[in-house]
């Protein structure tokens, strides 16, 4: 099984690169893991619908029918770290070869992607920018593994 975090935005900001690298390496101790930044389709604010549709199609072109897709969505399930680790455990036991975690573009994701998602997760009731959301997600994936392996990190 391989875990892949998909996003449409990255940054060369040192704080972001450092956190991204640290957590990616930590997660890789448990399973093969990578972060993939997909090309945003347009920066024209007037083309929102076109952008969402094109980004959705680009994602559907990547996903295979048997891949597991976890979508970060403000309308997704809210959960604590232990509950997230339980979902992670179910995903790990699903037999899927690829698990994708998706942080959509600035205008969200297409309805097709929402329908395709196997699990929708709300990281926070706060609105988070994409970089912060990515760091929070990476930390929660790592924390989830630490909880599942009963290793010291999470304090209930």
Residue 59's pLDDT is 94
Which single residue is written with the structure tokens 């990255």?
10
Q: How is the chain split into domains, by residue range?
A: 2-148
For residue 47, what is the DSSP state?
Answer: G
Residue 45's pLDDT is 66
CB of 94 closer than 8 Å to CB of 151: no
Per residue in 19-47, pLDDT tens? 999 999 999 999 999 999 998 766 666 68
Residue partners of 95: CB distance under 8 A and separation at least 6: none
In this structure, which topology does domain 2-148 adopt according to CATH? Alpha/beta knot (3.40.1280)
Per residue in 68-116, pLDDT tens? 999 999 999 999 999 999 999 999 999 999 999 999 988 899 999 999 9
Taking residues 127-153, what's their average pLDDT? Answer: 97
Core vs surface per residue 111-129: b (16+ CB within 10 A) or e: eebbebbebbbebeeeebe
Task: Note the pTM of the prediction, 2 decimals.
Answer: 0.93
Which single residue is written with the structure tokens 């395709």?
116
């Amino acid at each position: 099984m391989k875990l892949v975090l998909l996003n449409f935005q990255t940054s060369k900001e040192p704080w972001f690169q450092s956190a991204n690298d640290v957590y990616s390496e930590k997660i890789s101790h448990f399973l093969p893991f990578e972060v993939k930044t997909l090309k945003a389709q347009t920066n024209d604010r007037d083309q929102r619908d076109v952008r969402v549709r094109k980004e959705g199609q680009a994602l559907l072109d990547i996903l295979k029918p048997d891949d597991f897709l976890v979508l970060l969505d403000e309308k997704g399930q809210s959960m604590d770290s232990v509950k997230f680790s339980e979902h992670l455990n179910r995903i790990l036991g699903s037999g899927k070869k690829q698990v994708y975690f998706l942080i959509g573009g600035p205008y969200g994701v297409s309805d097709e992607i929402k329908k395709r998602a196997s699990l929708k997760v709300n990281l926070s009731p706060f609105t988070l920018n994409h970089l912060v959301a990515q760091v929070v997600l990476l930390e929660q994936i790592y924390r989830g593994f630490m909880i599942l392996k009963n290793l010291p990190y999470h304090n209930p």
